[in-house]
Amino acid sequence: MPPIKRTKFKLAPEQLLEMFYWLKLIRAFDERLSILVKQGQVRSGVYTGIGQEAIIVGTCFGLRKEDFICPLHRDLGSFLMKGVEARVMMSQMFAKTTGLSKGRDSALHSGVTELGIFGNTSMLGANLPIAAGLGYTFKMEKVDNVVVAYFGEGASNTGDFHEALNFAGVQQLPIVFICENNQYAYSVPLEKSMAIDDVAIRAEGYGFDGVAINGNDVLAVYQASLGAIARARAGDGPTLIECKTYRWHGHSEHDKAFYRTDEELAMWKSRDPIPTFTTYLRARHVLDDDKQKAIEERITTTIDDAVEFALNAPDPAPEDAVTDLYA
């Protein structure tokens, strides 16, 4: 697999701290959601990305507002990073009018065009042809915006994945395809859903490069994305980045995940992206106790506020069940 060009980058301390903030915020948001589900306060299917945060942070960091993301079910954090308020996302999970879909759906089936966020259906892989369409408009306009499109390794077995990546390859579209390879598709382990080790290799069948990287290292993800994004902005077409990772929770909060061993989980927890990055920041004196505390407090406040806001927000009016079908 041809490696994409290593892109040198230098992040200022504030930027590194911002990355840290996002990692922690996304983790905290998902953890709170998990509790809210257990408490019966959130009734929707919740698919946390706990353990996978480095992927979202590394790929979304520094994206322009005009750039588009096409997230899947575990990528709530990407909505936050692209500018949706925590309050709004929490409202969405509570099915309140203050959410993105006015209560019509929970989870991530709604988007915000102005912020460059596409909200997919539940159908895995179905976001990828849309990503191709968005990318095609950037190409038509000759602007250097990009699309970042996410999918699990399981979703890479859908027909839509194939048709979309092939189209993107033929048209050399400015798209970065991010595979979150967390080893399982619901209960099905990688080896039962494909006969290859690296999803990245599939990129070759579409005429562009694929790389497999450590998805739990936010800087590695950032670096690979930088390279792929630069290539896309320069008009040199798509890249597939496969981020090896692991989800700590079950498929959804209702899944006890008996299909995997405690050892496996423990091994992956030892590769938690957050402590790894924390150590890095502390070793470089970017982060200290005070700064960490301040960030953690900010996060707690943000999430407490979001939950309170969502709890108190109005339910939709029943009649809204039949509006907004046609423009």
Ligand X SMILES: Cc1ncc(C[n+]2csc(CCOP(=O)(O)OP(=O)(O)O)c2C)c(N)n1
Residues 143-202 that bind other proteins (CB under 8 A): 154-155, 157-160, 163-164, 166-167, 170, 185-188, 192-194
Scan residues 146-165 and list those touching its own copies (CB under 8 A). Answer: 157-163
89, 214 contact by CB (below 8 A): no
Query: Is 130 one of the binding residues for other proteins (CB under 8 A)?
Result: yes
Strand pairing class (147-152; 68-70):
parallel
Name the token pair of 223. Answer: 């670096």
Scan residues 257-316 and list those touching ligand X (CB under 6 A). Answer: none
Query: Is 323 one of the binding residues for other proteins (CB under 8 A)?
Result: yes
Instruction: Name the packing angle between helices 273-283 and 13-38 (round to 10°).
Output: 150
Nearest Cα neighbor of 50 from 273, 211, 286 is: 273
Residue from 3, 205, 235, 275 binding its own copies (CB under 8 A): 205
Please enumerate in sequence order all residues whose Cβ is within 8 A of that of 197, keeping only pairs 6 or more positions apart, or say none.
Answer: none
Minimum CB separation of residue 275 from other proteins in Å reads 31
Is residue 124 packed enough to be buried (19+ CB in 10 Å), middle (13-18) or exposed (0-12)? buried
Binding mask of the shown chain, residues 171 to 190, with x at each position contacting ligand X by CB under 6 A: ---------x-x-xxx----
Minimum CB separation of residue 198 from ligand X in Å reads 14
Query: Is 207 one of the binding residues for its own copies (CB under 8 A)?
Result: yes
Query: Is 182 one of the binding residues for Mg ion (CB under 5 A)?
Result: yes
Interacting partner of 107 out of Mg ion, ligand X, its own copies, none (Cβ under 5 to 8 A depending on kind): none
Count interface residues toward other proteins (CB under 8 A).
73
Among the listed ranges 136-144, 170-178, 179-187, 311-319, the one in contact with Mg ion (CB under 5 A) is: 179-187
Alpha carbons 193 and 177: distance in angstroms, whole number: 19
Looking at the Cβ atoms of 62 and 207, the one nearer to Mg ion is 207
Strand pairing class (188-189; 184-185):
antiparallel
Nearest Cα neighbor of 265 from 183, 203, 322 is: 183
Cβ atoms within 10 Å of 312's Cβ, excluding its own = 11
Binding site for ligand X (CB under 6 A): 73-74, 122-124, 152-155, 158, 180, 182, 184-186, 251
Binding site for its own copies (CB under 8 A): 157-163, 166, 169-170, 172, 192-196, 201-202, 204-208, 237
